Amino acid sequence: DSGVTQTPKHLITATGQRVTLRCSPRSGDLSVYWYQQSLDQGLQFLIQYYNGEERAKGNILERFSAQQFPDLHSELNLSSLELGDSALYFCASSVNPGDSYEQYFGPGTRLTVT
């Protein structure tokens, strides 16, 4: 158990809909990362937050947005969903956003768009 929690575990929705994925980091970790993993592929970095502020942006679509709240939990919002958005979405946290710090991953949310 990494200490990072993600809800829900599974989500099935229709094209065009909007969903929110939630992540609670490990106790004491200030930085949160979001990743997308499509079937049998590596992880694509989406976005990183540190103490409520956006720190780095990867290949995140304009239809996707995220935020980190004062209690440090984070939400990833996916809108106008397309079939291609079906994937595993992972959240990770680290104590510090720096490049020398390891990340701890949650169990993921599996999103299926039908």
Partner 1 sequence: DAKTTQPNSMESNEEEPVHLPCNHSTISGTDYIHWYRQLPSQGPEYVIHGLTSNVNNRMASLAIAEDRKSSTLILHRATLRDAAVYYCILRSNYQLIWGAGTKLIIKP
Residue 90 in the binding site for partner 1 (CB under 8 A): yes
The first and second tokens of residue 31, run together, are: 């930085």
Min separation Cβ 57 and partner 1, Å:
9
Nearest to 3 by CA among 108, 106, 97: 106
Residue 92 in the binding site for partner 1 (CB under 8 A): yes
The DSSP secondary structure of 56-75, one letter per residue, reads EE-S--TTEEEEE-TTS-EE
Min separation Cβ 45 and partner 1, Å:
5
| Contacting residue, 13, 20, 44, 67, with partner 1 by CB under 8 A | 44
Which residue is listed with tokens 């996707």? 64
Residue 96 in the binding site for partner 1 (CB under 8 A): no
